[in-house]
Structure 1
Amino acid sequence: MTPPTSRTWSKRGHTPLIRVRGRSRGRVSVAALCCYRPGARSRLIYRYILHDPHGGHTKSGRRSFSWTDYRDLLRVVHHQLGAPFVLVWDNLNTHRAAGLRDFVAEQDWITVFQLPSYAPDLNPVEGIWSALRRSRQANTAFTDPDHLLRALRQGLRQIQYRSGLIDGCLAATGLTLTTSRPEIQ
């Protein structure tokens, strides 16, 4: 758990060092969706996985979200929103997994558009991660995975209540809710 740094200082000519005790003893994976609807408050829905500190893997044997974890997240989003939705995804390999593609094809309440490769500037969730790193995680050396998880939940909860910040993440992409969305292959 290398601490992200935002600002620090030291004497002129001396490079500042951040000392962290021990090695990483755990891993946390987070997936989030920014939800927008014209005339409604923007929402952030997220899920996290705390990995086994000894092996770092989940039940599925992966060191990150599996396609079944994303499938379950999409079901939760559909339940919370209570309406069909359009999903705009980056090119993470798990997003393109055969099982997830089959699941999405079977559902009439999901429409998926893929972002072009190497286009994080078009993904509003990247703005959420940036805001989170600059606020709750900046200049913090986490003592254990639970400490990281507490800070992560507090930071994401604060962002959830700031719909203006979530709107700003969409505005930063240059995309709008009224733009016609051509399907990207």
Structure 2
Amino acid sequence: MGVAERLRELRTAGKHELVVTLATEVLRKESPQVSVVDGRVRVETRTFVGEHALDGVFDPSDRGDVDAAVERRGTYRLRDPDEVMAGFTFDSGCHHDAIVEDLHRTPASGAADSEETETAATLAAPTPGPAGDADATTRTAPSRSGRAAEQRSGESTSVFQRAVVAVQNQFRE
């Protein structure tokens, strides 16, 4: 029996606490794929999709800064809910450390060589899509030479990124 089927069976039987317990345990055992969309951390596993709040701009090279920016608990739901499981959500913090680790980037960790490395501006600031959609977010992977220039720019880049985010937030309001 699949996870979704078992959750559906328990929910139909009115065993709501068991549904949450089973869902949390399954989520804990699945590997998360982390992205930042519309100013929130989106977590996807084989069975579930969830979101954690993100508190603005953070420095991805500072683990403490990333940890402080990512909400400890997120809200999760089944990836493909049916009628019985529609509306079912649960809160969990089981992937918080994995999220922080994924968003935390330092050259020493080897993460900077990954093609999936994102800049702080990309992580924190939504980028308008081609149709001018202010809520769309794109993920970009800077080239190796782009990362080197980014590292050399240091503090001024952070100030610039915060200014860009502030301007974008003004347009959203």
Pick 1 or 2: higher relative contact order, CA cutoff 8 A, min separation 6. Answer: 1
When the two structures are superposed, what TM-score results if normalisation uses the length of structure 1?
0.24
When the two structures are superposed, what TM-score results if normalisation uses the length of structure 2?
0.25
Which structure has the highest helix share of the two? 2
